[in-house]
Amino acid sequence: MPHDHNACPDCGLPDLAFAVHDHAHCAEQVLARAEALAQDAGARMTPVRKRVLEILLENHKALGAYDVLQRLAAEGFGNQPPVAYRALEFLVEHGFAHRIRRVNAFAACMYPGEDHAPVFLICKTCDLVAEAPAAPVRAALDAAAQAIGFSIERSNIEALGQCPACRGAA
Amino acid sequence: MPHDHNACPDCGLPDLAFAVHDHAHCAEQVLARAEALAQDAGARMTPVRKRVLEILLENHKALGAYDVLQRLAAEGFGNQPPVAYRALEFLVEHGFAHRIRRVNAFAACMYPGEDHAPVFLICKTCDLVAEAPAAPVRAALDAAAQAIGFSIERSNIEALGQCPACRGAA
DNA sequence: GCATATGTGTTATATTATAACTCGTCAATA
DNA sequence: TATTGACGAGTTATAATATAACACATATGC
């Protein structure tokens, strides 16, 4: 039985992105899982790719491709857009990162390998992004599609608003 | 009581975008409704704005800002990006059009004035976009957000796939 | 009629994303 | 071991999407 998607896989914290937690620890766990999964899949987690995932994992924010690129360039990797885009594309294809279309940005997947299709809650104040449990939402979406005979291949469900902390501060 | 969101407001056809229907008629109705609503709201449906809505209403596809711009320019309106973007922004703000982020494009709203937050089903084969009934999906999304204390301000729910007709053809 | 707000058009530029080619590395193989 | 072929990374160049800022006209409210 898969564990609760709304909790940290390791420490069990709820609403991972927005809750205070030992982030270094959480990032480390996710990175390790991603590397193991890549290995299993015969995909090569090269230095750039790993570094990009690490960058995304540094916090729970969504970063634009050019933000990532800037970091890479500063660290001696290539400094042209394709370098960042290709690594990000690899991560997304393998489920190690998500593309958040609302903000033209990318965020590390917190539950790699769990074959989920999450909804994203994006705090407009602090920019943090949470992957919320999506099963009921997906079910409703599938039902709506099925009702008119539409077959869904990929979908994105994204919400902009305020996280608990920022709402409290306001 | 509001009528069924999944049916043409006028002719009652289900799954408007994908169903065969008298589109000229459907477009005309929607345009008329939008103009009346703009009037009520004290918003000015100027020639460019009206024309852009007409262009979007010519079919049920999502059009990029530059596609719209090209049409406008050919008809003697301005030919610089802001002309299109501003008209589109106006239409979106007033609920006469929707922005479909997945494809960086805009589509006419088929149910203006009904205060809905629809789900978009985008056929990757024929490019048609349907606004599906969203209430259950929104409810599930709200529940997911509420569970972690996140307050949603705006959200987008978009799915890419195949419409009944294109699936039948394949 | 006058002042103001709003809308249109313009120039210029920012931001996001991809095409196409080159080179190096590594692994499988002859 | 030398060869080849796949893949990845780097580059140049350009495409596609979007906005800032200003000039001018026109509509609206007084």
Q: Would you list the domain boundaries of chain B?
A: 23-169
**Would you call A153 and B161 a contact, using CB atoms and an 8 Å cutoff?**
yes
Residue B70 reports pLDDT greater than 50: yes
Count of Cβ atoms closer than 10 Å to residue B84 Cβ: 27
Q: What's the CA gap between B118 and B135, in Å, rounded?
A: 8
Instruction: Chain B: give the shortest CA distance to residue A38, in Å.
Output: 27
**Looking at the C1' of nucleotide C9, which residue has the nearest alpha carbon?**
B78
Name which of B143, B155, B167 is nearest A159 (Cβ-Cβ). Answer: B155
Residue B14 reports pLDDT greater than 60: no
The answer to whether B39 CB sits below 7 Å from nucleic acid chain C is no
Nearest to B35 by CA among B89, B83, B96: B96
Asked if B130 is an interface residue toward chain A (Cβ–Cβ < 8 A), one would say yes
Q: Which residues pair with A162 in a beta bridge?
A: B151
Q: Would you give the distance in Å from CA B105 to the centre of its chain?
A: 10
Mutation site for A-interface testing, chosen from B126, B148, B154, B163 by largest number of A Cβ within 10 Å: B148
Residue B4 reports pLDDT greater than 60: no
The answer to whether B47 CB sits below 7 Å from nucleic acid chain D is no
Q: What's the CA gap between B156 and B149, in Å, rounded?
A: 19
The answer to whether B91 CB sits below 7 Å from nucleic acid chain C is no
pLDDT digits (tens, 9 = 90+) for B38-63: 999 999 999 999 999 999 999 999 99
What integer pLDDT is reported at residue A16 of this predicted model?
A: 80
What integer pLDDT is reported at residue B110 of this predicted model?
A: 95
The residue with greater pLDDT, A13 or B92, is B92
What is the topology classification, in CATH, of domain A23-169?
Arc Repressor Mutant, subunit A (1.10.10)
pLDDT-based confidence at residue A15 (cuts at 50, 70, 90): low
Largest CA distance in chain A: 52
Angle between helical axes of A81-93 and A47-57 (0-180°, round to 10): 80
Is residue B65 within a helix (H) or strand (E), and if so which, with residue range?
helix B65-74
pLDDT digits (tens, 9 = 90+) for A62-109: 999 999 999 999 999 999 999 999 999 999 999 999 999 999 999 999
Chain B residue numbers with beta carbons less than 8 Å from the beta carbon of A124 are: 153
Running DSSP on this structure, what letter comes out for residue A113? T
Name which of A132, A145, A161 is nearest B153 (Cβ-Cβ). Answer: A161
Q: What's the CA gap between A116 and A9, in Å, rounded?
A: 14
Q: How far is the CA of B81 from the C1' of C10 (A)?
A: 11
Largest CA distance in chain B: 52
Angle between helical axes of B135-147 and A135-147 (0-180°, round to 10): 180
Q: What's the CA gap between A16 and A9, in Å, rounded?
A: 9
Quote the percentage of chain B above a pLDDT of 90: 81
Asked if B18 is an interface residue toward chain A (Cβ–Cβ < 8 A), one would say yes
Chain A residue numbers with beta carbons less than 8 Å from the beta carbon of B144 are: 119, 121, 132-134, 136-137
Running DSSP on this structure, what letter comes out for residue A63? B
Running DSSP on this structure, what letter comes out for residue B14? B
